Every structure is written in C-alpha cells, then in structure tokens.
Chains A and B, each alone.
Chain A
C-alpha cells in the first residue's frame, strides 16, 4: 500500500488472513482493550487445528476434550469469531482442517496474493505463487485491526533444481536435501524462489510440501511461480473466482512469474537425480542424511554431541535399521490426499510391525472424506494404524497426541526439535513412503525396498 523509506517500513496490505485458536486469543484481547473492530472480516478466515482433538468421539460425539485448556482455547475462538464477525470453520465443519491445507484446498490461496497467518508454515501458500509468511500474535492484531503490516523488503534466494527425482524419492526428500544444504539459518532474511525443471514438474501437493518447509531453512517465505499446473488446481476449487472473474484473475496471474533475467541476492543449485530418500537423525531439520547413510561422526559445534545424546544414537552408525516405536503420517507438510495415497501404496496388504503405534491424521476433513471414498482408511486400519479426524495432532502434540518419552518416531511432519512431539520424544523426519515402510518393518527402512 505504501513503499518503504529509510525511516519507515512499507505498509503491506494483506489479501488473506488465516487465523487459528492458538495464536489469536491475545490478538482479539488487544482489539478489545483498544476498542477496535476487525477491519476486513471478508478477508479473514478462522479454523481450528493446533490444539483440537483428532478422536472422532471428541470432534463429533460430544465426548469431553481431554485437555481442558485446549477446550477453552477452542471455545474462545468460537466466541471471538462470533463477536467480531469472522467466518469460522469450526470443530464439526466439513471444511475444517490444518490452516495451510484448507487455504489452497478451498481455492482461497491464489497467485499474487499476500497471505499471512500466525504460524510459521504459512510459507506453504507460496506454492501457488502467493507471498505468504508467518507472523506473531501482535501482528495478527495489526492485521485484524488495519488489514496491514509493516514490512521491510527481504533479500532473495533462488533455489534451482534440475533433473528428475528417482523412483521412491519425493518432494519431502527434495526439501530435506535442500535444508541439509542451506542449514537451518541459511535462508534467514530471505524469501526463497524454488525454480528449475524439477520444481516445474512437481504437482501442487508436492510444491506445497517444498514451500512449507522454507522456514526450516530460516526463510519466512518460499514461492514457486504459478503455471498451468497451478491454474488447473485452482479452477475447480469452491472459493476460486468463477466465470468472467476467473478469466480476469487468470490474465493477472500469468503476468506474475519472475523475469527470466531476474537477479537474486543468492543462488543455490541442486541436481535432483542424486537425491535419495532422506531422513533426519538429529534435533533440527538440517541434521539430515540419506536413508542409506550413516549418522555423522562429528559436527561443527557442541550442538552435535547434544543432538546425538538426546536422540540416543551412535555417531557413525547406519540410520537404516534403527528401531522405531511410533509412525506419524500427518501435518501441513505431508497430510494431503497424495501423501495418504503414497503411504497407502506401501501399506496395502501389509501390517505394521508388532508393538508399533501408527497414527494417520488427514490434513483436512475434505482430505479425510476423499481418502475414505478411495478406501485408503481401510488400508490404514487393516494395516493396524489409527485413522483420525484432521488437525495438527502429533506434529506438535498440543492436543494430547504425543510420542512417549524416549521413544523413536518416524514422522512426516516438519520439526524434529527436542520435545516437539512430546517431552523426551525422538523424532526422525521423513517422507510418507519412508514413514510407511518404517512402520511395516518397525525399523527405519528405505522405502524402495517395499515398492
């Protein structure tokens, strides 16, 4: 809306503001304190995902929600949305789901939009060519009250990937490899544009998996130029423009891609063909190796010793074969329909290892219904996994879905920080294929052995 100057940042107008139960209560409280209203309820959408239950009886059956403070947070979001006139996809809504899954799925996430949410994985929406990034709760209040944010222009980082991914290697493996190369602070201060033939060949679900984890390299936003794959994805979405409005929007979107001779502040190049299925061994997403590889013998600083100690792993040992107690298929990284299909491909006709717990948590209620229409729920249940209602669930364990202390979880989510999935939980991040294969064997497994 207004450009930056030396004294003041730019005033950025926000086209879509997504809110959820965990990072919004204090923002609404601020509006109340100052007697302010929500400036553009029509550009604001609320859902529930982070602390919501995933057990069907608690979502639909009226069974009490286990964690009282989480239940209170849900009630508070309902009350805030009602008071301020914000549309809420509530607990039993058919369109509810993880905030970064439903935006694209509903067709609200569109090329060229500015999108913010009080959640760092808002970078996901960049897959559609939107400028999307996570904000804190004070900024949530700024956007609610003024529909604007103060921002300085970030630096730019081009991540260019060429070549074809091998069979059994997915978008998750690609982004894990990119984070391994950039490191967890490599993208700080930058917006990433993912480019190159490999990126162009990804479908929208895969592009979202890549952009989702930009923040894991420190970049607030990651984007991919919109193209015919993007437009085909959006054309059928309920809240995408229709008819003449669609034609107008499309003409605008086609002008968005970066100029071929654009200059970036930094560049990184990767060759897709050399990437293998990847898995993390440590306590940040940059501590990653090919599933065929070994845990490093040493690291650059004291964090290495701390990480192997926390994880209870041995430097130099192969990661493959490491016993696993829990497998989680879920999160805004990997809980869209194609991710569930990918896990089901490995699990069909097989059973998970004895003693292992496996949770499959779809990214949204729509994903859940589509998966059930394809019979994927049967595949998971027959394999011995649990099939839940949508939400963040074990990605951050706020709703009580946690990994027990000391246990090893192969998880399709995005963070392996100490305690992320529960106090003392040991998380290994991987693709849905690798997670499902590891569930079958009860050990970290190269999915290519089971395809």
Chain B
C-alpha cells in the first residue's frame, strides 16, 4: 500500500445522503475476480445512460472533476453492502479521501485497508464543503486535520492503528502475522 501523509486536491461534491455501496458500484460488476479496473464502473447507474453513454450532467463526467482526489458526500456515505469493490472503484478512479458527516462502518474499515481515507467532519464544515464544490483542501493525516481554503483547520477522528498503517504504507496483515505465536497459544488453550 502507498503511504498516505498529506493530500491537497480540489473536491468533487455528491450532496446526496445515504449513498449506498450499490450506487458506488452496482452488483452486476461484482462478478470480477480481481481488484483492478473497477473505476470505470464507479457510480455506473448515475454516470451512464441506458445506452452506456456518459450523462453530461453527472458531476464525474464534467471536466472540472478531472484530477480531483477528494470526494465530499452527504451523510452516511457507503452504507449497505460490505463489498470492498466500492473503495477499490473509488481508488481506481483516483479518489484518495472521502469527506462526510458520517461514513458507514464496514465501508470505513474497507477504505482504511486500501489507502482511501475516510474523513468525518462536523455539520457546519460539511455544509460549507457541500456548498462549495471544487474547493481546494489539504488533508494532513499525521495531525488529523483538514485545511479549508480560508486557512481554517478542522480536526477529524482517526483510529490510531489505522493511522499508523496508512502513514507508513504497511498493512494490518503483517501485524497479525507477527502475532502468530500468541494466536497459536490461544488456540491451544481454547
């Protein structure tokens, strides 16, 4: 995994609340057996019309969204299914952070394991971000802060171990494997 330290990018805004993982990537694209190449199916049913042509009014299809790495969304982003294909698709498209007032548990956990940073902010910050698409933000993971264009900084919560893994680009599997002898001892007792 690529380390995540700081990220500066303009935002793409999807103001809808409760964006579920079926919207992020519909089930018909889950018959894949690899992680790669899911970006083209990201938000497929919002992004393309019935004939598969891009809908010009959908934000990801507009030129100003190109190169944006921060997605700002309405509350309870990523609810529903546990499909890790959702963060894979967001990452493959180029996103590295999602900002919302609430992010669903399984999606948040899946995102952290893949280097997609879930940033949970208060209502006021979220309200401002939703109203200002394209704002340039800086996310600093080490200090757990998000900087807004005027210089204002808000902090966001992040679980200590997940932060450590992201900052260093290491994954949890290595840590779990390093505890094999304890796992073995536990299994002998059980």
Q: Quick check: A26 and B109 within 8 Å, CB to CB?
A: no
Q: Interface digits, A61-80 against B, CB 8 Å rule (1 contact, 0 not)? A: 00000010110110010000
Tell me the residues in window 99-123 of chain B with beta carbons closer than 8 Å to chain A beta carbons: 102, 104-106, 109-110, 113-114
| Shortest Cβ distance from B177 into A: residue | A146
Query: Given A69-B32, A118-B82, does the pair A423, B45 have CB atoms closer than 8 Å?
Result: yes
Q: Quick check: A23 and B161 within 8 Å, CB to CB?
A: no
Q: Interface digits, A21-42 against B, CB 8 Å rule (1 contact, 0 not)? A: 0110110011000101001100
Tell me the residues in window 75-90 of chain B with beta carbons closer than 8 Å to chain A beta carbons: 75-76, 79-84, 87
- B39 interface hit (Cβ, 8 Å): no
Q: Quick check: A72 and B76 within 8 Å, CB to CB?
A: no
Minimum C-beta distance from B79 to chain A (A): 6
Minimum C-beta distance from B188 to chain A (A): 12
- A6 interface hit (Cβ, 8 Å): yes
Tell me the residues in window 33-61 of chain B with beta carbons closer than 8 Å to chain A beta carbons: 33-35, 45, 50
Tell me the residues in window 1-28 of chain A with beta carbons closer than 8 Å to chain B beta carbons: 1-2, 6-9, 11, 13, 22-23, 25-26
Minimum C-beta distance from B86 to chain A (A): 9
| Segment at the interface with B among A166-174, A225-233, A413-421, A432-440 | A413-421
Residues of B within 8 A of A76 (CB): 33
Minimum C-beta distance from B164 to chain A (A): 8
Q: Quick check: B105 and A146 within 8 Å, CB to CB?
A: no
Q: Quick check: B113 and A148 within 8 Å, CB to CB?
A: no
Query: Given A23-B82, A306-B16, does the pair A67, B186 have CB atoms closer than 8 Å?
Result: no
| Shortest Cβ distance from A287 into B: residue | B18
> Contact residue range for chain B?
35 or more
Query: Given A135-B82, A419-B45, does the pair A147, B17 have CB atoms closer than 8 Å?
Result: no
Residues of A within 8 A of B180 (CB): 146
| Shortest Cβ distance from B172 into A: residue | A150
Alpha-carbon distance between A67 and B187 when the two chains are bound, in angstroms: 42
Query: In terms of DSSP, what is the predominant structure of the interface of chain A?
Result: loop
| Shortest Cβ distance from A6 into B: residue | B160
Partner of B31, one of A69, A139, A142, A215: A69
Alpha-carbon distance between A142 and B176 when the two chains are bound, in angstroms: 8
| Shortest Cβ distance from B184 into A: residue | A39
Query: Given A134-B82, A146-B177, does the pair A13, B190 have CB atoms closer than 8 Å?
Result: yes
A residues contacting B by CB (< 8 A) are: 1-2, 6-9, 11, 13, 22-23, 25-26, 29-30, 34, 36, 39-40, 50-51, 67, 69-70, 72-73, 76, 118-120, 134-139, 141-142, 145-150, 152, 184-185, 188-189, 215, 218, 220, 284, 301-303, 306, 396-398, 405, 415, 417-420, 423-424
The 5 closest A-B pairs by CB, nearest first: A136-B110, A69-B31, A25-B33, A136-B84, A185-B76
In the complex, 7 of the A-B residue pairs with CB atoms within 8 angstroms, ordered by the A residue number, are A7-B161, A7-B164, A26-B84, A136-B87, A188-B104, A396-B27, A417-B22
Given A11-B176, A120-B82, A136-B84, 10 extra CB contacts under 8 A? A120-B81, A120-B106, A138-B114, A141-B173, A147-B183, A184-B76, A188-B105, A302-B16, A415-B80, A418-B23
